[in-house]
Amino acid sequence: MKNFLCTFGGALAVLVVGIGMARASVVVGGTRVVLPAQQGEVTVRLSNEGNHPALVEAWIDSGNLNSTPDTAHSPFLITPPLFRMEPQKDQSLRIIYTQGAQPLPTDRESLFWLNVLEIPPKPSGPQTASRNYLQFAIRSRLKLFYRPGSLPGEAITAPDKLVFKASQGAPAALIVHNPTPYYITISKLALGTDGKQVDGARGMVAPFGELRLPLSRMAQPPAAGTPLGFTTIDDYGAADAHKGTVAQ
């Protein structure tokens, strides 16, 4: 999902007394980006739904939440990296895979992050002349998946291949094994025939990797054969429901 971070570094910030509410005007189309290797590039659409122009800066990093355009490194070129967006206008970002110094794996997806930083204009006019304000730059951070060609199976069916096993010992948890070359994001988990949802049991499991899902308020892990239901997020940000059982 999108994370909106109030970023002070690099933004104009003036604080005295009154504090207004910060809202993002620049909206990114979608909640994630998939770049197929055979295409070599992908386009992301931005919209300025506000009533004022905004300065937008975009960059891609490999997982550092504190990255900046100057410190981020990735095998992608993004253009334009810095631009002004007029109100009620759209802008397309072009993301190109450049391969870089070391090619990415060809047997699995690779994960990066697209950052879109919106810097609003400084308030002006008589209505703000005698008022104090706090100004925010708002960053949207989206997952970017680089998907090699000819991967076995399909991303849409990969969640059905997940294997859920109860962990040994306390605290109770499920270990999710992903035997596919695709990243899979679990947003909800329910256990038992009554489909009781487990709070906090969510996360992303890497290709050929494992994810530990805590089972809050459960003294013991579920027995093998216990039915479960889980929801994943697909390439378009939609929620897909799946069913399974706890494996031996």
Mean pLDDT of all residues in 114-135: 75
| Concatenated DSSP letters of 156-188 | TTGGGG-EEEEPSSSS-EEEEE--SSS-EEEEE
Alpha carbon distance 235, 184 (integer Å): 10
Residues 93-108 pLDDT 10s: 999 999 877 899 999 9
Name the pLDDT band for 128 (thresholds 50, 70, 90): low
The per-residue pLDDT of the chain, averaged, comes to: 87
Residues 12-37 pLDDT 10s: 333 322 334 456 789 999 999 999 99
Q: Which residues contact 44 (CB under 8 A, 6 or more apart)?
A: 28, 29, 30, 33, 92, 93, 95, 114
Amino acid 209 reads G
User: What are the distances in angstroms from CA 226 to CA 38, 218, 247?
Assistant: 41, 14, 8
What is the model's pLDDT at position 193? 82
Strand-pair partners of 198: none
Alpha carbon distance 78, 206 (integer Å): 25
Domains identified in the chain and CATH numbers:
5-147 (2.60.40.10), 158-247 (2.60.40.10)
167: tokens are 């962990």
Instruction: Indicate the length of the chain as a whole number.
Output: 248
Phi, psi of 160 (to 5 degrees): -70, -10
Alpha carbon distance 164, 172 (integer Å): 13
Q: Which residues contact 176 (CB under 8 A, 6 or more apart)?
A: 162, 163, 164, 186, 205, 210, 211, 212, 213
In this structure, how many other beta carbons lie within 10 angstroms of the beta carbon of residue 81? Answer: 13
Mean pLDDT of all residues in 222-236: 95
| pTM of the shown model | 0.85
Residues 46-100 pLDDT 10s: 999 999 899 999 999 999 999 999 999 999 999 999 999 999 999 999 999 998 7
**CB–CB of 1/31 below 8 Å?**
yes
Alpha carbon distance 45, 29 (integer Å): 5
Closest CA to 240 of 176, 159, 177, 180: 159
The answer to whether residue 174 scores a pLDDT higher than 90 is yes
